[in-house]
Amino acid sequence: MLQFLMKGGKPLKGEVTIGGAKNAALGILAAAIMTDEPVVLENLPDVSDINVMLKAIQDIGALVDRLDRHTVRITAGTIQTQNVLFDYVRKIRASYYLIGALLGKYKVAEVALPGGCAIGARPIDQHLKGFHALGAKTRITDDGALHAEAQALTGRHIFMDVVSVGATINVMLASVLAEGRTVIESAAKEPHVVDVANLLNRMGARIKGAGTDVIRIHGVEKLHGTTYPIVPDQIEAGTFMMAAAATNGDVLIRNVIPKHLEVISAKLLEMGCTVQEYDDAVRVCGNPDKTYTNVKTSPYPGFPTDMQPQTAAVLALAKGTSMITESIFENRFAYVAELNRMGADITLCEKGDVATINGVSGFKGTDVTAPDLRAGAALVIAGLCAEGYTSVSDIKYVLRGYEDFDVKMRGLGAQMVTVSNEKEAEEFIRATAEPEEKQAAEFIRATAEPAEDQSAEEVYENFVN
Ligand code: UD1
């Protein structure tokens, strides 16, 4: 039972350094197997999604050497199979990048698809459209894997019907070694699309226009090895910006590209917070009198859907009524019920894509559950603002995308730990309790043993009541 446990109420203060972008790194790891020569990747985040991808690459035969915690050398000349059928790859959606990479290099790939996603709410029809245009045939196998195969891949003009990060990167991967010229129209412009293209170009690919909505790729015969530092994580940076604002703190966020954060900064300014930009850092100062604003998610350079839950946690504490409209994914408001249990006043429209947030004066700590990665981050932000103790369970989701989240928060003065059992929870509560709570706790301890299955909240209640 890994949980984050925190005692809220302290403004975050100090400096935090942002790691490499998880979503860029997932595409980049797939790109790295497209040459037989060594590719050294620096600034790789140590998060579970990345480690799953590294394991998959290793399990099909590539050599993966960890040079240090954030640097790996991948040598893919030893790959023995194009079948990536391990059950664990279904845990990460981005395993579909292995289809583009293997198909591009070997003209055949079979990859286990994320459970239920392919034809469900997060379709991959645009990925398939791109592969088909390049000359590949695809089918879903009886075991739920996607098989893609081509005699040869030939460059084509491809119009994406939906702006998709995944499809743009996947088609780019499949086309860099194709014959002739590929043009991707309505391409996604996210920083991670640009980062994957930059790595591929360093490996000898000829890609132009990444970061605009038209990407042109001249196929080359082969790619070579290189060393490449992964771009800083826009979403990790944005999360700390929102945490600084929510706690009325003052935080310098280092190792960022301020340009990637402009829309997040703009929303914080609208709320009345202060944002200062430096060459590779931003400083965010919160404002106890934050005011409402409206947010609508859209593809880059619009407001990122991956920042929507964390922003809701801040707006829940802002004066007035804010509206958040989610226009990318249907299922992005799973955190609303949990935030409301902490005292937020958020209602969803019937269709489920617009949240109306009436600002409240504070949150109350309780036990909540992370429904997904970014929602989990939003609940941590709320917990850091809340009165009393909050435990966030199911943090496996949060660990997919945030490295040392609790360590970094503690570096900013937060009272937050990861606990794996009730004893550790009790220790944290004892260490952080106010003097009068400590006295109560001593009394309770002297007179009663807490039951084994008590929640953190119940343990706390026992201490203070
Ligand atoms: C990526 C990010 C994810 C982020 C999302 C949007 C990675 C590993 N994940 O996800 O964190 O939230 O971008 O910025 O980088 N769609 C289709 N058909 C397709 C593909 C997508 O209809 O073939 C739709 C999706 O359902 C969604 C929209 O397009 O409504 C955008 O999805 P997409 O950009 O593809 O997201 P991902 O690449 O899955």
pLDDT digits (tens, 9 = 90+) for 251-291: 999 999 999 999 999 999 999 999 999 999 999 999 999 99
Q: What are all long-range contacts of 209-216, with beta carbons under 8 Å and residues at least 24 apart?
A: 210/172, 212/187, 213/163, 213/185, 213/186, 213/187, 213/189, 214/183, 214/184, 214/185, 214/187, 215/168, 215/172, 215/183, 215/184, 215/187, 216/181, 216/182, 216/183
**Measuring from atom 35 of ligand 1, which residue has the nearest CA?**
164
Counting residues of the chain whose pLDDT is more than 70, the rounded percentage is 92
Distance, in Å, from the CA atom of 83 to the CA atom of 79, rounded to the nearest integer, reads 10
The answer to whether the beta carbons of residues 248 and 255 sit under 8 Å apart is no
Distance, in Å, from the CA atom of 242 to the CA atom of 236, rounded to the nearest integer, reads 10
Residue position matching structure tokens 């003065």: 413
CB-count burial class (<10 Å; 0-12, 13-18, 19+) for 430:
middle
**Measuring from atom 29 of ligand 1, which residue has the nearest CA?**
164
Q: Is the pLDDT of residue 152 over 90?
A: yes
Best residue for ligand 1 mutational test, from 158, 173, 328 (most atoms within 8 Å of Cβ):
328
What is the Å distance from ligand 1's center to 190 Cα? 11
What is the Å distance from ligand 1's center to 13 Cα? 34
Could you tell me the pLDDT band of residue 458, with boundaries at 50, 70 and 90? low
The answer to whether the beta carbons of residues 216 and 207 sit under 8 Å apart is yes
Instruction: Name every protein residue with a CB atom under 6 angstroms from any ligand 1 atom.
Output: 23, 26, 93-94, 122-127, 162, 164-167, 188, 192, 304-306, 328-329
Could you tell me the pLDDT band of residue 447, with boundaries at 50, 70 and 90? low
The tens digit of pLDDT for each residue in 15-72 reads 999 999 999 999 999 999 999 999 999 999 999 999 999 999 999 999 999 999 999 9
The SS3 assignment for 172 reads: helix
Shortest-distance atom of ligand 1 to CA 124: 23
What is the Å distance from ligand 1's center to 165 Cα? 6
The tens digit of pLDDT for each residue in 300-334 reads 999 999 999 999 999 999 999 999 999 999 889 99
Q: Is the pLDDT of residue 126 over 50?
A: yes
Could you tell me the pLDDT band of residue 118, with boundaries at 50, 70 and 90? very low
CB count, 10 Å around CB of 455?
15
Token output for 41: 């990747």
Which pLDDT score is estimated for 121? 56
Could you tell me the pLDDT band of residue 439, with boundaries at 50, 70 and 90? low
Which pLDDT score is estimated for 464? 41
What is the Å distance from ligand 1's center to 166 Cα? 6
What is the Å distance from ligand 1's center to 116 Cα? 15
Shortest-distance atom of ligand 1 to CA 330: 30
Mean pLDDT is lowest, of 112-116, 335-339, 431-435, for 112-116
**Measuring from atom 31 of ligand 1, which residue has the nearest CA?**
164
The answer to whether the beta carbons of residues 450 and 460 sit under 8 Å apart is no
Shortest-distance atom of ligand 1 to CA 169: 38
Best residue for ligand 1 mutational test, from 26, 122, 264 (most atoms within 8 Å of Cβ):
122
Instruction: List all residues 6 or more positions away from 324 whose beta carbon is below 8 Å from its beta carbon.
Output: 294, 295, 296, 297, 308, 311, 312, 315, 354, 355, 357
**Measuring from atom 15 of ligand 1, which residue has the nearest CA?**
23
What is the Å distance from ligand 1's center to 377 Cα? 19
Q: Is the pLDDT of residue 431 over 60?
A: yes
Distance, in Å, from the CA atom of 361 to the CA atom of 2, rounded to the nearest integer, reads 30
User: Where does 286-342 show beta strands of DSSP type E?
Assistant: 294-296, 321-325
Mean pLDDT is lowest, of 214-218, 362-366, 453-457, for 453-457
Which pLDDT score is estimated for 115? 54
pTM of the full structure: 0.93
Which has more pLDDT, 443 or 20?
Answer: 20
**Measuring from atom 22 of ligand 1, which residue has the nearest CA?**
123
Q: Is the pLDDT of residue 120 over 80?
A: no
**Measuring from atom 4 of ligand 1, which residue has the nearest CA?**
306
**Measuring from atom 1 of ligand 1, which residue has the nearest CA?**
165
Best residue for ligand 1 mutational test, from 124, 132, 138, 165 (most atoms within 8 Å of Cβ):
165
Q: Is the pLDDT of residue 460 over 80?
A: no
Token output for 96: 């579909």
Mean pLDDT of 77-93: 93
Instruction: List all residues 6 or more positions away from 377 whose beta carbon is below 8 Å from its beta carbon.
Output: 239, 309, 310, 398, 401, 402, 405
The answer to whether the beta carbons of residues 98 and 30 sit under 8 Å apart is yes
Catalytic residues: 117
Q: Is the pLDDT of residue 292 over 50?
A: yes
Which pLDDT score is estimated for 450? 52
Counting residues of the chain whose pLDDT is more than 90, the rounded percentage is 88
| Cα-based torsion angle of the residue sequence 236, 237, 239, 245 in order, rounded to the nearest 10 degrees | 170
Which residue type occupies 267?
K
What is the Å distance from ligand 1's center to 360 Cα? 33
Phi, psi at 18, each rounded to 5°: -85, 145
The tens digit of pLDDT for each residue in 356-403 reads 999 999 999 999 999 999 999 999 999 999 999 999 999 999 999 999
Which pLDDT score is estimated for 331? 85
Which pLDDT score is estimated for 465? 36
Instruction: List all residues 6 or more positions away from 202 whose beta carbon is below 8 Å from its beta carbon.
Output: 226, 228
Which pLDDT score is estimated for 296? 98
